[in-house]
Amino acid sequence: MSKKIDMIRIQELREITGLGMMDCKKALEETDGDIEKAIEFLRKKGAAVAAKRSERETAQGIIHAYIHPGSRIGVMIELNCETDFVARTDEFKNLANDICMHIAALKPLYLVPEEVDPKFLEHEREIAREQLAGSGKPEKIIEQILNGKMQKLYDEICLMRQQFVKNDQKTITDILTDVMAKTGEKIQIRRFARYEIGSY
């Protein structure tokens, strides 16, 4: 591979990922110039780096408000990061807006599974158990099915586990991880509120 092609490949990877030249060069070297493998390499690296950042403090950020066309649905979100510099970037503000649009569309009830009301969870579990009553399945199998249904419920009602409305190949967690890899900072949704005319 010539140096010219190297630079073209590096630039192409930079445009796809938004990452720095050295990171892209390293990824291509590690994957013999394969763009798809390089993207996967960078995603794995980004996820590992994001995991290391999970304990870092996020004392900066923005409160962002979104009003859906028609003014019948509104969303507010507190999106945090580590520095005011990142909080002021267009990418960070666009991220906040995209997440607000997602919340407006998919109506999450909670941020993460740990926040789900135990009474609500038990109620949903009992409904699912009643649906399986009389199925003739052994209790062990029923429990496995119930656990699977609860995980699916988390995917539906918890923001961080929902499939992103603009790209259903990624969850909201994946979207945050990608931005953390680009910015080098921990990014966290602290809280959100969704308002809709006529609902409480």
Confirm if 76 and 65 have CB atoms less than 8 A apart.
yes
- The arithmetic mean of pLDDT across residues 142-155, rounded, is 90
pLDDT over 60 (residue 100)? yes
Q: Could you give the CA distance from residue 98 to residue 95 in angstroms, rounded to a whole number?
A: 5
Q: Are residues 132 and 40 in the same domain?
A: no
Confirm if 158 and 116 have CB atoms less than 8 A apart.
yes
Considering its fold, how many domains does the chain have in total? Answer: 3
Q: Are residues 68 and 138 in the same domain?
A: no
pLDDT band at 92 (very low <50, low <70, confident <90, very high): very high
Give DSSP secondary structure letters for 69-100.
TTSSEEEEEEEEES-HHHHTSHHHHHHHHHHH
Location of structure tokens 């009602």: 157
pLDDT tens profile 45-75: 765 555 555 556 677 999 999 999 999 999 9
* pLDDT for the residue 105: 96
Q: What is the DSSP letter of 178?
A: H
Confirm if 83 and 185 have CB atoms less than 8 A apart.
yes
pLDDT band at 26 (very low <50, low <70, confident <90, very high): confident
pLDDT over 50 (residue 197)? yes
Greater model confidence, 47 or 87: 87
Q: Are residues 72 and 107 in the same domain?
A: yes
* pLDDT for the residue 74: 97
- The arithmetic mean of pLDDT across residues 83-93, rounded, is 92
Residue ranges making up the domain that contains 136 = 117-157
- The arithmetic mean of pLDDT across residues 157-178, rounded, is 94
Q: Are residues 104 and 23 in the same domain?
A: no
